[in-house]
Structure 1
């Protein structure tokens, strides 16, 4: 049973075929021991996110791979060491599960300010990471689990439970989850979902059709836009804030301004003359002065105070 659970977990890590996910759900529901075994595997993986990773191919030299800097390589490597790691850790899975249940009461509201992020382990063993200036309320009930993202950004790493689906409400929409890792943004009219592992279903705006997003897919609706944009590729950029970075690839300057506002807690406007600027680059998250300086080095702009608010204006010639 353990080997089957590990096999399913490995198979689903990069799977974008919904039929495979449905087949997996049938397997989970066929026997309660299937769900228990899979939950143990997934819980071990979630908890291992914060541990250094030893590459099994180079185990003799005990080379340690940094999870933060080498996350992109991990997905290509995990196939080699995951079954052995799970087999070794399975003995302690029951103890680990009972310990995690002490965290994250049902119906709890979590908030962050402009100073830092926050990591929360929920009562079901799932984990959420709140970006700055974020508010989310989580309900863990007997027959369902849900989260309401009032504003801000949250990275979810959700443990799959066939009988207790997880639903995220944000921006007037719903994200229904099969055990997965994904990021949700609901900020100043902008709505976005990026999936790094698993499969989610995003309800359409104003009655539009539901969009299913497999691993590697992202959905974005900028403020004021009339339609979603769905893209596929490397979604790690959407999670870069967890490592203290903001990564932009051909993004409008308005989107950058909204990020500045979130990290400052105020309002940041963009001069109409700069509306067409597209931004590609990486900046390090810091205090407002640090962010401003980096952007002024990257772009032909300056950031100044106007009527008690910050404004992005053209650089002086």
Structure 2
């Protein structure tokens, strides 16, 4: 159940932006494979709590462009109706931003929310594209899918704000050199003449250094950690993990590949699902099986077929946009 439901008790203090994000959360929930009848009932109760909620819900329905309201029933029934316009729950909000339906950043409260700031970012990519930009100092900035960043260059520093997603940075050379910073939700990185990849997850960030070094600073102010070439680490607001050897899976996306080295099927499906429209799921019985190999991120059907041919699993399709990895029968 979306966390926004508990906030309904404070309707009087709720603004349009809160209601919009709550409505998007409810819609994403009802599009999930494990959505239940109770989810539909709870959503309807949330809509009935105020006219603001109902207005936000109707706006979400307009955004999808496929239906006026969600029918009661399971998420798969809904998905079959809207599979041409809706991607996975993880990227649902990005669909709203990129669907070309005229949603303005002001309407989404761009100055107030993380979602709004992402929509207004200078550089961003959609759910099915990567892009490379050359900045004014010669820095090469490559954005993976579903990524949004802002760039702020001044006389004293060069700063990248990563709002969401994953970026590969090869810093430009300067003399004299301005400090190069990357800011995330969890802390900051200082590049020391380097090439590195930074990915922002829901609860932490991961940095992988290909060349040179970076210094990682957690938001809480704990002792910073240097990460050298051939190393990677993860950090959140309160801690920075000790560096460990760089894993190919952390950077192979730049070549359109997923390099799996004893990767759990659960993690494999999570990665493949980022590059695939719709729902990519797995049965809990296969979650801890492991797979190794090099798989295409540009042909996810082929990657899934390779998984099925390597392990005792099979693929269960309901639509072209819904596939689940299950134990072989």
**TM-score normalised by length of structure 1:** 0.56
Does the CA-based 8 Å contact 1:133-1:263 persist in structure 2? no
For residues 134 and 122 of structure 1, what CA distance do their matches in structure 2 show?
17
Residue 313 (structure 1) shift? 3.3
Query: Paired residue for 1:273?
Result: 285
Quick check: 1:127 aligned with 2:140?
Answer: yes
Matches within 5 A, 1:1-317: 109-161=122-174, 163-189=177-203, 191-204=205-218, 206-220=220-234, 228=241, 230-232=243-245, 236-304=248-316, 310=322, 312-317=324-329
| 3-state SS of 1:313 partner | strand
Higher strand share: 1
Residue 145 (structure 1) shift? 1.2
| 3-state SS of 1:145 partner | strand
Does the CA-based 8 Å contact 1:108-1:139 persist in structure 2? no
For residues 131 and 170 of structure 1, what CA distance do their matches in structure 2 show?
16
Does the CA-based 8 Å contact 2:188-2:219 persist in structure 1? no
**TM-score normalised by length of structure 2:** 0.55
| 3-state SS of 1:179 partner | coil
Number of aligned residue pairs: 208
CA deviations on 1:231-274 (whole Å, 9 max, x unpaired) are 125x5543222222111223333332222222125454432223
| 3-state SS of 1:116 partner | coil
Does the CA-based 8 Å contact 2:186-2:218 persist in structure 1? no
Does the CA-based 8 Å contact 1:181-1:196 persist in structure 2? yes
| 3-state SS of 2:200 partner | strand
For residues 273 and 205 of structure 1, what CA distance do their matches in structure 2 show?
38
Residue 310 (structure 1) shift? 4.2
For residues 135 and 157 of structure 2, what CA distance do their matches in structure 1 show?
14
For residues 279 and 221 of structure 2, what CA distance do their matches in structure 1 show?
32
Q: Gaps spanning 5+ residues in structure 1: where?
A: 1-106
User: Could you say which structure has the greater relative contact order, defined with CA pairs below 8 angstroms and 6 or more residues apart?
Assistant: 1
CA deviations on 1:194-214 (whole Å, 9 max, x unpaired) are 111111011236444321101
Change (3 A) 1:259 1:189: farther
Greater shift in the superposed pair: 292-301 or 118-127: 292-301
- RMSD across aligned C-alpha pairs, in angstroms? 3.2
For residues 227 and 301 of structure 1, what CA distance do their matches in structure 2 show?
37
Residue 298 (structure 1) shift? 3.1
| 3-state SS of 1:264 partner | coil
CA deviations on 1:49-71 (whole Å, 9 max, x unpaired) are xxxxxxxxxxxxxxxxxxxxxxx
Change (3 A) 1:302 1:147: farther
For residues 206 and 301 of structure 1, what CA distance do their matches in structure 2 show?
44
